[in-house]
Structure 1
Amino acid sequence: MIAFEHLLVLPVLLPLGTAALMLLGDRRKGFKAAMNVVSAALGLVVAVLLLQGVAERGPGAFGIYLPGNWSVPFGIVLVADRLSALMVVLTGAVGLASALYALARWQQAGVYFHALFQLQLMGLYGAFLTADLFNLFVFFEVLLAASYGLLLHGGGAPRVRAGLHYIAINLVASLLFLVGVAVLYGVTGTLNMADIAQKLPLVPESDRGLLHAGAAILAIAFLAKAAVWPLNAWLPPAYAAASAPVAALFAILTKVGVYAVLRLWTLCFPAGAGASAGFGGEVLIWGGILTLAFGAVGMLASQQLARLAAFSVIASSGTLVATIGFDAPTLSGGALFYLGSSTLAGCALFLLVELLERARQVEVGPAEIDDGNGALPSFLDAETPVHANLDDDQQVLVGRAIPAALAFLGVTFTVCALVTAGLPPLSGFVAKLAMLTALLDLRTAAAWALFALLIISGLFAAVSLMRVGMRHFWAADRPSPRLRVIETAPIAGLLAGSVAMAVHAGPVLDYMRASGEALHSPELYINAVMSAQPRSGPEGSGQ
């Protein structure tokens, strides 16, 4: 049995090794596809084991792994706590669902799809587990480099146009990331997150302005990646243009920026950080509120389902960023529940986009349509061609049983809509109820603003998704698409996870609240990381 600490490195090594084997081994797409799915499934299993191990050890438990066996803070450190374990599980679930869906046809559109997919997973896992700013930058670049290729996968002018915009924005954000890291290193002399947090109160007043400037530059980079307004113009066209499995995987990509802000802000600027306590909190609150408003209005204005799904990602990012700035453990617990719920629903919605748009439109003249007895149906105009919903025998599908494919799409779209809009009885409602309850206890102007906007944004989302549902399921000329099991199973699995969160809302919410409490007690993280010791003897160098 592998020791718990050794599990931490597997989510990084597994996709890295898989990608290397794909590039060096058999070139057959079927072989690569099988490796991609198996690796993604194993990654999810490892992630669940990590989550289970952290949960069983208690709220303040941490898994620490020193890959280079160097003393902290000089070497690479991987850390698994409740938050990072949650993010790793979400990454594994989204990765497996997207990999399965891609088997239907998208893997055929490019040679290196599966290798890029695995490198994307490696970057995501590493970003959530690393405890070092420079390695966070490295994993950011790995996942972004892979995302550039995945976004352009399949070709076409819309993808190229959106992809170039996406690449340009993220390159600028990466440059700001590197500048911010350099400034913080110049002030604190370290890049280990726990060590930075430990040294911040000791920074002399003469260097405090430089410290805040470095933190602000770093925050701009993270907020751009988190699609916070006004740094989010790149997201709707990019996510709408991406292929379905890539867009679904990108549902977790935006959360990396949110995670980085949450991790570093609660760690470095808590109430005990002296003159830097709460630095930037108001910016996070109002920036998140404006982003939520922008996403809600964007959903209401969207005429295409793909863009609506993209704006729902922006709205979820805004909600999460706004909750960070309040520095309230109870609110953070509800926000983490919302993070899990919105990620699963967003991934499923992106996969549904392609299936909902897939339809068989047949233009025929009225002479070619009859009711089986040689007479035209009463609703047809006898002089003009029509678009009709026909079966294989050219019979109009009126008054017949709903086909299984259409029933599946209707049910799954309804579940996605309920979760996204935060309507009862599913996980989106539980998450919003937990956040609204916590906001009532804060009693500040910003809290009331977010309280009202959470309700209004839910209404906007419900109206938008209802309009899309009417267009896709109530139209008389909308035929039933042909679906494959490999396309429907991932969607069903993701939504089953969302339903399970609602069914087991009590234990899940307890876990999220314990995660929020641990986040707002940064001394737990600092002590755990700084007390980690390298192995000595034949298994370690003991530096």
Structure 2
Amino acid sequence: MTESPDHILIASILIPLVAGALMLFYGETQRRVIAVVSTVAQFIVALELVDMASHHTTSIGLYLLGDWPPPFAIVLVLDRLSALMVLLTSVLALSAVVFAMARWDRRGQHFHSLFQFLLMGLNGAFLTGDLFNLFVFFEVLLAASYGLALHGSGTLRVRAGLHYIAMNLAASLLFLIGVSLIYGVTGTLNMADLAVRVPLVAAEQQPLLAAGAAVLGIAFLVKAAMWPLCFWLPITYGAAPPPAAAVFVVLSKVGVYVVLRISSLAFGTAAAQMTGFGAEVLLWGGLATLVFGTVGVLASQGLGRLASCSVLVSSGTLLAVIGISGLGGGSAMIAAALFYLVISTVAISALFLMVELIERGESELAAILTVTAEAYGLGDDDLGEAELRSAGSGPGVPGATTVLGFCFLTCALLIAGVPPLAGFLGKFAMLSAVLSFDDLGKRDIPLIGIAFTAVVIISGLAALIALVREGTRTFWAAEEEELPSVPLVELVPVIVLLALTLGASVKAGPVMDYMEATATSLYHPHVYVRGVLGAETMPEAGK
């Protein structure tokens, strides 16, 4: 894959960039067409990237911008992990774009342009091979997410959006400080070059390197919503428009992705004296996030708040597993965590899309039961009830309540981890790997494994209780309420996302094989390092 430039890598960034810019010059209908074409094209490109990564186990894909040699080049790198995250993003994006066309893209200006710029930043963050351009793409996706979080109306949405902006601006400042410290010590920001230079850092410089890594880690953990840095997430995601919130779920996984990528390269097996750096912080911080999210799920009095707290549970689980693996665990933990990452992200995104569909026709009795939901921005909407009922475009779906109920049940089983669905398979694989890990010579890992298992099981039980409570209140207690018509364009994205998780349940073997190969490549980053640093520029014309 490194013998010639892989131009398809840059397509994942150029397509949303060009589409987002073109939309500014056209009307509503044309913007919708461009949005669908762009998102479908990104999905096709993502499938091709996964296929490329799957068939090349001893090399990586590279694109050298400006044809400068690494580590000086701005380089895009494709491996199994980055291909997986780009595909996950494109799947959520396509579902959200179709869902938004029912009415949400008309609630404010430039929804589709902001959405495409968000995708550009996400794809760039997953594909970039150096920390500085990671910062650039971070800022692109954050700037777009600010607009999407504020899209529409309502004072709660504005207040939550301002909190979100302030928190991320502080994280960006920490990002710059951490990057500056690391560059001052190592003289490079290329991730592959860091894997080579970190082991060579002099002993007197290692404290400064550790300080830079810690500051950088805080910036990533803010995005990953690790406790106590997660207070902004429930209110922001709960107040955001449903199609934006559905894609925001993967934003929290950007922090998890970067922690996994940097720890495997700069502070992994290639850097012996830094191995396990920050692992205990990730472990205990992840467990605290898991507990905090579980309490939030049980205390939630609205479906949007419940979905937001489920994001915290997902992030906490992943961070804890990464922390345990950093203490000396095997690649099986990371493989299971990646499987769980995909399934939980898709399931929670589908739940966010269903939030407004379910609550659109709630009765007054249901409103009384959720009297405190207004504090979380769930009822702050300037559209009247009549407009809400008629805002959807397209014919209503017969038996929409039945379809929604079935989709909600599937989401509940996935998030809670009930067998035999993929949510259970991901949790079972993680718990099996953690409990089988034994490193008695260093730490009491079995005790950590038992504690992690107990918290994960309790979190699943809490999610099941909370979701059953919400389902009963919505689909059973309000049986006499006439629910509004649900357009097909709003139901199809939810059904497709849940169908993908069901497909992952049936084809769990091949999916897990991909995850295991991905985890193995992370534990043996020499292919990544050799591929990036050994890249050659294009020969000059005539030579």
> Structures share a fold, TM > 0.5?
yes
Hey, what does 2:454 align to over in structure 1? 452
Hey, what does 2:389 align to over in structure 1? none
Hey, what does 2:113 align to over in structure 1? 115
Deviation digits for residues 351-380 of structure 1, max 9, x if unmatched? 0000000117599xxxxxxxxxxxxxxxxx
Partner Cα distance (2:460, 2:431) in 1: 12
Hey, what does 1:442 align to over in structure 2? 437
The structure-2 alpha-carbon separation of the partners of 1:326 and 1:524, relative to structure 1 and needing over 3 Å to count, comes to farther
1:21 and 2:28 correspond: no
Deviation at 1:403, TM superposition (A): 5.9
The structure-2 alpha-carbon separation of the partners of 1:338 and 1:362, relative to structure 1 and needing over 3 Å to count, comes to closer
1:467 and 2:461 correspond: no
Hey, what does 1:140 align to over in structure 2? 138
CA RMSD, Structure 1 to Structure 2 (Å): 1.6
Partner Cα distance (2:73, 2:481) in 1: 59
Aligned residue among 511, 524, 528 for 2:527: 524
Q: Tell me the secondary structure at the aligned position of residue 5 of structure 1.
A: coil
The answer to whether the Cα contact below 8 Å between 2:269 and 2:523 also exists between their aligned partners in 1 is no
Hey, what does 1:409 align to over in structure 2? 404
Hey, what does 1:30 align to over in structure 2? 29
Deviation at 1:5, TM superposition (A): 1.4
The answer to whether the Cα contact below 8 Å between 2:362 and 2:474 also exists between their aligned partners in 1 is no
Deviation digits for residues 150-188 of structure 1, max 9, x if unmatched? 100002101001000000000000000010000000000
The answer to whether the Cα contact below 8 Å between 1:285 and 1:446 also exists between their aligned partners in 2 is no
Instruction: Tell which deviates more after alignment, 60-69 or 450-459.
Output: 60-69
Partner Cα distance (2:297, 2:248) in 1: 18
The answer to whether the Cα contact below 8 Å between 2:343 and 2:501 also exists between their aligned partners in 1 is yes
1:215 and 2:213 correspond: yes
Hey, what does 2:361 align to over in structure 1? 359
1:484 and 2:487 correspond: yes
Deviation at 1:265, TM superposition (A): 0.8
Q: Tell me the secondary structure at the aligned position of residue 78 of structure 1.
A: strand
Partner Cα distance (2:323, 2:311) in 1: 19
The answer to whether the Cα contact below 8 Å between 1:286 and 1:446 also exists between their aligned partners in 2 is no
The one-letter amino acid of 1:233's match is F
Partner Cα distance (1:446, 1:532) in 2: 42
The answer to whether the Cα contact below 8 Å between 2:101 and 2:489 also exists between their aligned partners in 1 is yes
Hey, what does 1:176 align to over in structure 2? 174
The answer to whether the Cα contact below 8 Å between 1:406 and 1:481 also exists between their aligned partners in 2 is no
Partner Cα distance (1:8, 1:245) in 2: 26
The one-letter amino acid of 1:446's match is I
Partner Cα distance (1:4, 1:105) in 2: 41
Deviation digits for residues 277-318 of structure 1, max 9, x if unmatched? 211111111111111111111101101100000000011011
Partner Cα distance (2:474, 2:240) in 1: 21
Hey, what does 2:224 align to over in structure 1? 226
Deviation at 1:269, TM superposition (A): 1.3
Partner Cα distance (2:362, 2:210) in 1: 57
Hey, what does 1:393 align to over in structure 2? none
Instruction: Tell which deviates more after alignment, 330-339 or 262-271.
Output: 262-271
Hey, what does 1:78 align to over in structure 2? 76
Hey, what does 1:320 align to over in structure 2? 318
1:422 and 2:417 correspond: yes
Query: Unaligned stretches of 5+ in structure 1?
Result: 364-401
Hey, what does 2:12 align to over in structure 1? 11
TM-score, normalised relative to structure 2: 0.89
Deviation digits for residues 69-90 of structure 1, max 9, x if unmatched? 1000001110111110000000
The answer to whether the Cα contact below 8 Å between 2:335 and 2:519 also exists between their aligned partners in 1 is yes
The structure-2 alpha-carbon separation of the partners of 1:280 and 1:420, relative to structure 1 and needing over 3 Å to count, comes to same
Q: Tell me the secondary structure at the aligned position of residue 62 of structure 2.
A: strand
How does 1:363-402 map onto structure 2 within 5 Å? none
1:495 and 2:498 correspond: yes
Hey, what does 2:43 align to over in structure 1? 44
Hey, what does 1:92 align to over in structure 2? 90
The one-letter amino acid of 2:521's match is A
Deviation at 1:56, TM superposition (A): 1.7
Deviation at 1:94, TM superposition (A): 0.6
Deviation at 1:215, TM superposition (A): 0.1
Deviation at 1:61, TM superposition (A): 3.5
TM-score, normalised relative to structure 1: 0.89
The answer to whether the Cα contact below 8 Å between 2:196 and 2:270 also exists between their aligned partners in 1 is no
The one-letter amino acid of 2:56's match is R
The answer to whether the Cα contact below 8 Å between 1:405 and 1:481 also exists between their aligned partners in 2 is no
The structure-2 alpha-carbon separation of the partners of 1:299 and 1:361, relative to structure 1 and needing over 3 Å to count, comes to closer
Aligned residue among 516, 536, 540 for 2:539: 536
The one-letter amino acid of 1:432's match is K
Deviation digits for residues 180-226 of structure 1, max 9, x if unmatched? 00000000000101101110000000100000000000000000011
The structure-2 alpha-carbon separation of the partners of 1:459 and 1:362, relative to structure 1 and needing over 3 Å to count, comes to closer
The one-letter amino acid of 2:36's match is V
Partner Cα distance (1:290, 1:61) in 2: 38
Deviation digits for residues 302-345 of structure 1, max 9, x if unmatched? 01100000000011011111111222310000000001101110
Query: Unaligned stretches of 5+ in structure 2?
Result: 366-396, 439-444
Hey, what does 1:69 align to over in structure 2? 67
Deviation at 1:4, TM superposition (A): 8.0
Instruction: Tell which deviates more after alignment, 226-235 or 454-463.
Output: 454-463
The one-letter amino acid of 1:421's match is A
Hey, what does 1:345 align to over in structure 2? 347
Partner Cα distance (2:355, 2:347) in 1: 12
Hey, what does 2:516 align to over in structure 1? 513
Hey, what does 1:54 align to over in structure 2? 53
Hey, what does 1:193 align to over in structure 2? 191
Deviation at 1:439, TM superposition (A): 1.0
Q: Tell me the secondary structure at the aligned position of residue 537 of structure 2.
A: coil
Partner Cα distance (2:359, 2:23) in 1: 32
Q: Tell me the secondary structure at the aligned position of residue 66 of structure 1.
A: strand
Aligned residue among 275, 285, 309 for 1:287: 285
Partner Cα distance (1:107, 1:270) in 2: 44
Partner Cα distance (2:482, 2:320) in 1: 42
Q: Tell me the secondary structure at the aligned position of residue 191 of structure 1.
A: coil
Partner Cα distance (2:142, 2:541) in 1: 38
1:251 and 2:249 correspond: yes
The answer to whether the Cα contact below 8 Å between 1:37 and 1:99 also exists between their aligned partners in 2 is yes
Tell me the matched-pair count: 497
Aligned residue among 333, 336, 348 for 1:334: 336
Deviation at 1:271, TM superposition (A): 3.6
The answer to whether the Cα contact below 8 Å between 2:285 and 2:316 also exists between their aligned partners in 1 is yes
Query: Equivalent pairs: percent with the same residue?
Result: 52
The one-letter amino acid of 1:54's match is A
How does 1:253-268 map onto structure 2 within 5 Å? 253-268=251-266
The answer to whether the Cα contact below 8 Å between 1:336 and 1:512 also exists between their aligned partners in 2 is yes
Hey, what does 1:367 align to over in structure 2? none
Deviation at 1:538, TM superposition (A): 2.7
Partner Cα distance (1:193, 1:72) in 2: 10
Instruction: Tell which deviates more after alignment, 172-181 or 261-270.
Output: 261-270
Deviation at 1:266, TM superposition (A): 1.3
The structure-2 alpha-carbon separation of the partners of 1:435 and 1:65, relative to structure 1 and needing over 3 Å to count, comes to same
The one-letter amino acid of 1:9's match is I
The answer to whether the Cα contact below 8 Å between 1:269 and 1:276 also exists between their aligned partners in 2 is yes
Instruction: Tell which deviates more after alignment, 204-213 or 109-118.
Output: 109-118
